[in-house]
Amino acid sequence: MPTTTTTRNLNETDPLEDFERREITLDDAMKKVYVAGTGPAVIVMTEMPGISPHVARFARWVRDAGFTVYMPSLFGRDGAVADAEEGKTVFQHACVSAEFRAFAGNKSSPVTQWLRSLARLAHKESGGPGVGAIGMCFTGNFALTMMLEPSVLAPVLSQPALPLDNPAGIEISPEEISAVKQRLDREDLTVMAYRFEGDRFCTGQRFAAYAEALGTRFVARVLPDSAANQKSLPSFFEQLVANPHSVVTAHLIDEAGQPTIAARDEILSFFARRLISK
């Protein structure tokens, strides 16, 4: 597993200089994608309010564990430490964007079609048995919808927050989740999911809805709020999130033996089991 120490200041802009910045056009839409590493591909989808230094740190951990990371820019300023005001603006723009369905349960965000195409491209470029995918917060459920793409074998849902207006809702249509469940059963696959116990954006009701839809194929991990980092948080998280939320990024405690580090290591092992040891 990667080291649990970092030499980068997470409260300063990350230049992302160790990633290749690519402009990838798929389905007639171009997006920036940051790519690094070798080995089977893992799609790392950012949380609000964008590709922060914390998100980039997680992507580097995935890279260092033996994977090619594809990290698409979906919103916000890449590498920035957004303050509360900027983060609020990014969040508001995403909520009204045609690419996302922030307030619509039982339906997938349109951007997931582009992400499935990215998974196909990443599999073609990186090889291996398939592709891993992790979504966080606003993108948390996207990894599940991406299971409609056959190349995606290892989906991880980290604190999936959509739809925002229904704590028990899930952002995927009944037809799509039925198709995903059939594939999970047919190919003996599982979905990993993570949240903090007191998270008001990703509630126990939402995890219960996933469990009802997917049965034992949905493997849930609920961390105690006491396991969350509460020191030196960006103002976006202090003022607007204001509860333990981001399991493998801002609220992760980067120390050996911490539950959030154990969650990170379990995710990396899940990717390895599905994409390397297969």
Other residues' Cβ atoms within 10 Å of the Cβ of residue 212: 11
User: Would the pLDDT of 1 be above 60?
Assistant: no
Q: How confident is the model over 189-205, as pLDDT tens digits?
A: 999 999 999 999 999 99
C-alpha span between 245 and 20 (Å, rounded): 29
pLDDT value at residue 255: 96
**pTM, 2 dp:** 0.95
Can you read off the two tokens belonging to residue 237?
A: 């998280």
pLDDT band at residue 277 using 50, 70 and 90 as cut-offs: low
Q: What is the mean pLDDT of residues 203-224?
A: 97
CA distance linking residue 195 with residue 206, whole number of Å: 10
* Arithmetic mean of pLDDT over the chain: 94
Position 108 scores a pLDDT of 86
User: What is the DSSP secondary-structure string of 163-220?
Assistant: STT-TT--SS-HHHHHHHHHHHHHHT--EEEEEETT-SSS-HHHHHHHHHHHGGGEEE
Give the Cα separation of 187 and 148 in Å (integer).
13
Query: What residue type is assigned to position 47 of the chain?
Result: E
Stretch 158-176: mean pLDDT? 93
Please give the average per-residue pLDDT across 208-237, as a whole number. 96
Residue pLDDT, tens place only, 3-37 = 444 578 999 999 999 999 999 999 999 999 999 99
Q: Mean pLDDT across the stretch 30-45?
A: 98
123, amino acid identity: H
